[in-house]
Structure 1
């Protein structure tokens, strides 16, 4: 298996887990998030990324939700934002699960296309990054997004908010891949007594 195929397999595994959580939450809450405007979703993502950074800096956490759970939440909020952008002219607050699942898959497939392009140009550079650096990049992209939103979406030379959501989504997936690899390295083989 090539490195690219390995990345794609790991990416899809992370997304599958995140989509399952997304759909389970949909059964509990429906699509109540449809009421959120994009700046509110940006702020939700910011809160999660800021919590991750605080935990990284303090070296401990007091609330049970893990860093991995927060990265999964960032992924799902990015997908929500991308769906909101896609459905700008659709005012429905409730979406049927099948339609929602299809929209989720469509957005993720577009992100995978972006992954192919960026991995072609950058290689697998993210694999040698620290998770703390990825967290900082996510926060930077969120601050950029907030600035664009405050400027009512107008930019001179920059990509729009959708490009930032796509990058943040990919960085969150990369972080979960790296976290999973770290956990695997920390698993010691069981010792057996004779």
Structure 2
């Protein structure tokens, strides 16, 4: 994976995130991180099922759309770890952290992927680990796991983009 693809997927994800932020505001700020992890889990299982079947039932939502949802849920988790929502928070503050997390991912790329086999199953293992350890994970470890999951999801989205036929 290269930074050009990270920039491409970040732009796609960011456009959707901004649109939803405009319509729904910070509605997710009250949701517990464990509930967001549940959403990530459901979306990743959907991707896994599509891959196993070789096709998807719902044609309107492409597999890349589901990857984008997973990426945005992971970034929401990272935002929640980095903002004190007891204070007034602006959309621009949220977007700044959103962008910071992708930039941080670019800086960390290589650390997370060199010695790892990345698959949907590996991503599910990380999610299940978070679900098991919900309240026992320290902030830094949770942030590192989320960055690792973000890296894995972006990589998996890249290899799952439908190829154009000539």
Tell me if both proteins adopt one fold, taking TM over 0.5 as the criterion: yes
Equivalent in the alignment of 1:170: 151
- Tell me the distance in 2 between the aligned counterparts of 1:23 and 1:86: 18
2:60 counterpart of 1:74: no
Q: Provide TM-score, normalisation by structure 2.
A: 0.88
Total equivalences in the alignment: 164
Deviations 1:109-140 (A, max 9, x none): 11211114345xx18x76xxxxxx62111111
Deviations 1:117-166 (A, max 9, x none): 345xx18x76xxxxxx62111111100111110xx2258xxx72222211
The answer (yes or no) to whether the contact 1:49–1:135 under 8 Å persists in 2 is yes
Equivalent in the alignment of 1:50: 45
Q: CA deviation at 1:95?
A: 3.6
- Tell me the distance in 2 between the aligned counterparts of 1:118 and 1:29: 33
Matched residue SS, 1:160 = helix
Unaligned 5+ segments in structure 2 are none
2:87 counterpart of 1:106: no
- Tell me the distance in 1 between the aligned counterparts of 2:52 and 2:160: 16
Aligned Cα RMSD in Å? 2.2
> After TM superposition, which residue ranges in structure 1, 4 or more long, deviate above 4 angstroms?
none
2:11 counterpart of 1:16: yes
Q: Provide TM-score, normalisation by structure 1.
A: 0.76
